[in-house]
Amino acid sequence: MIYDISLELSGETIAYPDNPEIKIRTAKSIPGSGANVSEIKMGSHSGTHADSLRHIENTGNAVEKLPLDSFYGNAKVLDLTACSSCILAADLQALDIRAGDIILLKTRNSLRGFKQFYADFIYLSEEGAGYLAKKGIKTLGIDSLSVQKFHSGNQNVHNLILSSMTLFEGLDLSKVPPGEYIFAGLPLRIKGCDSAPARAILISRP
């Protein structure tokens, strides 16, 4: 079984407030032209995307410098749908999380869908981020457009995560049961950029 856990990109795709919305228009079309060509305008954090440290630090590594081995490997989808506001370290400590893991956090964000932006989305707390950083996982994914609380006033969670692992945001885990999978997520290789849209999938393990 293969699960597509990427958000579909269109002019109706939700955007984080104050981020650019997606605009797609026809630049050339048949029969007036020999081929159909579209022009796409979007923010670097549109839909499912991978962040780099450049997102919060001007001198941080850009998205094309993210390690390739963090885009693929054995992954664990963790059921955190019981969390009502944020994910705490205590919520993670009882789960099987080991160094080198790819960890995907499934919350009620996936359950209520992605047709509109909810300011009260479930996020990762600072202590939760610190716990994952200490565990030494290589990749983290979450089913919200940001791993951090809306209007938190700082970048502490992003800093803890992006300083030690690759981060995928905007995953749709609504149809994925908790368990172990093979993850593949490939952000576009955009030179010098803070983030890049990605196509991400999960493959059931035998």
- pLDDT per residue as tens digits for the range 41-57: 999 999 999 999 999 99
pLDDT in tens, 144-162: 999 999 999 899 999 999 9
pLDDT at 48: 98
pLDDT at 206: 78
Token pair belonging to 75: 């992954």
pLDDT at 160: 97
pLDDT at 205: 87
- Helices and strands in the chain, H and E counts: 4, 12
Contacts of residue 77, Cβ cutoff 8 Å, sequence gap at least 6: 104, 106, 173, 176, 177, 178, 179, 180, 181, 202
What is the rounded CA–CA span in Å between residue 186 and residue 49?
A: 9
What is the rounded CA–CA span in Å between residue 68 and residue 51?
A: 14
Taken in order of first residue, the domains within the chain and their CATH numbers are 2-8+44-204 (3.50.30.50)
Other C-beta atoms within 10 Å of 190: how many? 15
Please identify every stretch of the chain with a pLDDT value under 70, giving residue numbers as ranges: none
